[in-house]
Structure 1
Amino acid sequence: MAKVMIVDDAAFMRMMLKNILQKAGHEVVGEAENGAVAVEKYASLKPDFVTMDITMPVMEGIEAVKRIRETDPHAKILMCSAMGQQGMIVQAVQAGARDFIVKPFQEERVIESVKKLLGA
C-alpha cells in the first residue's frame, strides 16, 4: 500500500481518483486543488506518489512538478490530462513526471500506471 496525494482543481475528479486508488489498497494522505497547494503539502505529507492534473488555476501541473522535483528529485508523479493535451504531456514528462493517465479515468489504466510507477 502506497501513500498518495491527489492534485486536481475539480473535486469530482479527485473523488473519482480517490475511489479507484483506495479500492486498489492505497492510502490517500492528502488532496490539493492547485499546484501551489500541492507543492506546499508535498513536503509535509511525503506521499509515495502524486497524481497531478495539468490544467489548474494559481499554478498549473507542469510548474508544480518542476517545483516538487527541485525539493525531491526522486518524487514519483503521475500526470492526469484531458484528451487532446498530448503536447502538454511531453512537457510534463520533460519536467519530471513518470507517466500519465487520460481523463475520463479508466480504472484498469490508473492501476496499471500506479504499479508501473511504484515498480511493482
Structure 2
Amino acid sequence: MKTVLLLDDARSIRSVYAEVIRQAGFDAQTASSAEEGLQYIVDHGTPDLIVTDINMPGISGLEFCKRVRHVAKHTPIIVMSALSDKGMVAEAKTVGVQGWMLKPVEPEYFLNKLRSVLGEIQALSS
C-alpha cells in the first residue's frame, strides 16, 4: 500500500483530504507542520508521496521541500496552496515539486493528481 504524507496546518484540510486518500486505498499520514513532517520522515522513512501546504507557521512548505530533497531526492511532492504566486511555483519546481494545486481543491481532482504523479513515478522505476 502506498503511503501519502499530507502536511497542512489546517485540521479541517488534513481531515478531508486524508479521508479522500484512505478511500482511494492509500495509507494517509498527516502532519500539522513542516517540523512534524520532517520528524515523520526521520521516524518512519520516506513516504511514497508528499502533499504539502506552502504557507505554514514555522518552516514554510517550500523550505520543507528543500529539506526533504536532502534525504529523499526522488520522492514526489505536490504543493497545495491558496496562493498562485508564479515566482513561488517556479522556485518549487527547482526543488523538484511535481505538481501545484490551488485550494480549494475538489476531492476528485486531488485524487487524480495523486494517482497521476504516483503513476509517473512507478513508470519511471519500471
CA distance in 1, matches of 2:9, 2:35: 11
Report the AA paired with residue 42 of structure 1. I
| RMSD (CA atoms) | 1.5
**Partner residue in 2 for 1:64:** 64
Corresponding position of 2:39: 40
SS at match of 1:119: helix
The within-5 A match list for 1:74-113 is 74-113=74-113
Q: Partner amino acid for 1:101?
A: M
Moved more, 81-90 or 93-102: 81-90
Gaps of 5+ in 1: none
- Normalized against structure 2, the TM-score is what? 0.85
Q: Which has the larger radius of gyration?
A: 2
Structure 1 match to 2:19: 19
Task: Indicate the percent of aligned positions where both proteins have the same amino acid.
Answer: 28
1:81, 1:89 within 8 Å by CA — same for their partners in 2?
A: no
| Count of aligned pairs between the two proteins | 119
Q: What's the CA shift string for 1:59-106, capped at 9, x where partnerless?
A: 000100010111110111111111433432222222221112221121
2-structure distance, mates of 1:43, 1:76: 17
CA contact (8 A) 1:8 1:34 kept: yes
